[in-house]
Chain A
Amino acid sequence: MSTPSTAPTGPVHVTGTVLTTRAVGAYTHLTLVAPGIAERMRPGTFVAVSVEGQLLARRAFWIHRVRHAGGHGMTLEIVVEQVGAGSRWLAAQPVGAKLAVTGPLGRPFALPKRDADPVSCVLVGDGHGAAPMFLLGERLRERGAVVTMLVAGADEAHLLSALEARRSARSVTVVTEDGSVGSRGRVADHIGEVLRRAAADVVYAAGRPSVLRDVAEAAETHGAWSQVAPELPLTCATGLCQGCPLPVVGEDGVARTVRSCYEGPVVRGDRIRWTELAP
């Protein structure tokens, strides 16, 4: 059916195994052996996990990192924030636990063409929405892009891997709402200045819709392209149920509702009808 010369594409559903689990600030990082998913992933794609018991919706997580791990082949890391019964269950899974995992799901961030002139990229990660940004930063650097990062969180515990950011980016701005580390404030207070300093051509962002709206507006003011991945509640995460409406405007100027998990999660910031998504 498939031609062996092309890289495998499309999601797969596998039984994954928890290889490591560790608490990092307010989050739990899980490394999973999930054959086939890491090989197919691109920054911005995610996985969905079934929770045991009576919870019927699936839980979606950014693919944070992929790496080779000895005899296990490629592994992937997800970042779990414990916000409800499902994420609490997942964060409590011990090493060796088996999980029903589907991925990679969703449309990834678009990268600049390989032979294009160097592009200045600003990457904005809000809370655990910063998870896909580190790998994205690496891929962009491989393509010769100049990468600037803005990593934001409510406080130090909700700041994802600011240290790692320094490895993936030329310059890093850290912002916390309580000022516990980095500059005090919200993304909206700092994004304009970061875009100006970086002379940004493209802005990539993931996180809460209200934060992404500010990023998209700042990008527009600055004259940059924006690609944003709003975090919305997903039910199936596979495009089957239409439970994740994302209000957009099509290329033809017509207002549409697309599925965040399938036509997204990454879409152009200037295409989202923000008043309907993030009032």
Chain B
Amino acid sequence: MSVLEDLRLRGPVLTASGCGGTGRELAPYVDLATLGGFVTRSITLAHRTGAAGRRIVETPSGLLNAVGLQNPGLEPFLARELPWLHQQGARVIVSIAGASPGEYADLAQRLAVAPGVSGIEVNLSAPDQRGSGVYDVREPFHAGSVVSAVRRETPSRVPVLAKLRSDVVRAVEVSRTVAEAGADAVVLGNALPAAMPDGRPARLSGPAVGPLALRCVAQVCQQLPALPVIGCGGIATPADVRAFLDAGAVAVQVGTAQLHDPMTLSRLITARQEDA
């Protein structure tokens, strides 16, 4: 449990960013205090209304999404959502996204001192449309500079997690870069770049991406054994959780499966308890 304790996690099963609502919608189906951690949807400095039109489309074994970082912005999040989550006894890990390293740093600075924040997850897998053309946060160099900007603003008692996409070619390289920049752990991976049937950019998640994420987790765990890895991608069953932990992950995040069946997290946590 010691790595989990260092990361201030309560167990190995967490929500994945963007699939747990504000927490209130999830609470009827799982006791938030039993989650290893509740990862919020990505919070930006200012309020974002998200994408217009059709946002999610089913594909065989996956969901395509183009939600577009809809969130209330930092201040309303701090005022209304965070205190409630904290009251429920949830370990809150705030996912952050910005259009520049400066925006990430500002977010980290405010969140690091907010009561009830157990960790910060830096969303480095989805390029922010507002920053596009300026920098792509998925590039190792940019990912590293974002993480060091966040680390500088975050006291060492608050862990910083870097969330990367499952890029089998560069997972080890990006992981090493963000670890050197001060990330306490990496989260591998996230929805992968894809397209809606009408050609709009979208991202694919669900069972289809699970094996890719597992490959990245295994690679990073082998080559960077000192770096804690949290697996994310296509996890729906106790066997999936086991596969990621066996590959060396210290914890997993569950997203798309929770949209298909709101009891998934609750079931996985019970299964882990029975396993233990």
By a beta-carbon cutoff of 8 Å, the part of chain A in contact with chain B is 10-13, 50, 54-58, 100, 102, 233, 235-236, 238-245, 247, 255-257, 262, 276
Inter-chain CA distance A56–B262, complex, in Å, is: 12
Residue from the set B61, B62, B63, B259 with the largest chain A CB neighbour count within 10 Å: B259
Looking at chain A's contact residues, is the secondary structure mostly helix, strand, loop, or mixed? loop
Of A55, A238, A241, which one neighbours B56 at CB under 8 angstroms? Answer: A241
B29 touches A241 (CB 8 A): no
B65 touches A102 (CB 8 A): no
Is B95 part of the contact surface with A, judged by Cβ < 8 Å? no
Smallest CB–CB gap between A88 and chain B, Å? 14
Of A10, A256, A276, which one neighbours B28 at CB under 8 angstroms? Answer: A10
A interface footprint on B110-121 (CB within 8 Å = 1, 0 otherwise): 000000000000
Inter-chain CA distance A45–B49, complex, in Å, is: 25
Looking at chain B's contact residues, is the secondary structure mostly helix, strand, loop, or mixed? loop
CB<8 Å pairs between A and B, sample of 5: A50-B261, A240-B21, A240-B259, A240-B262, A241-B18
**Inter-chain contact total with CB atoms closer than 8 Å:** 91
Inter-chain CA distance A262–B29, complex, in Å, is: 15
B55 touches A240 (CB 8 A): no
By a beta-carbon cutoff of 8 Å, the part of chain B in contact with chain A is 18-21, 24-26, 28-29, 41, 49-52, 54-56, 58, 60-63, 65, 67, 70, 206-207, 256, 258-263
A57 touches B262 (CB 8 A): no
Residues on the B chain within 8 Å of A55, using CB: 58
A243 touches B65 (CB 8 A): yes
Smallest CB–CB gap between B14 and chain A, Å? 14
Smallest CB–CB gap between B144 and chain A, Å? 30
A56 touches B20 (CB 8 A): no
A56-B63, A57-B63, A233-B56 provided; 17 other pairs, C-beta below 8 A?
A10-B28, A13-B28, A13-B262, A54-B61, A56-B259, A235-B63, A236-B262, A238-B262, A239-B21, A240-B21, A240-B25, A240-B262, A241-B21, A242-B55, A245-B52, A262-B25, A276-B52
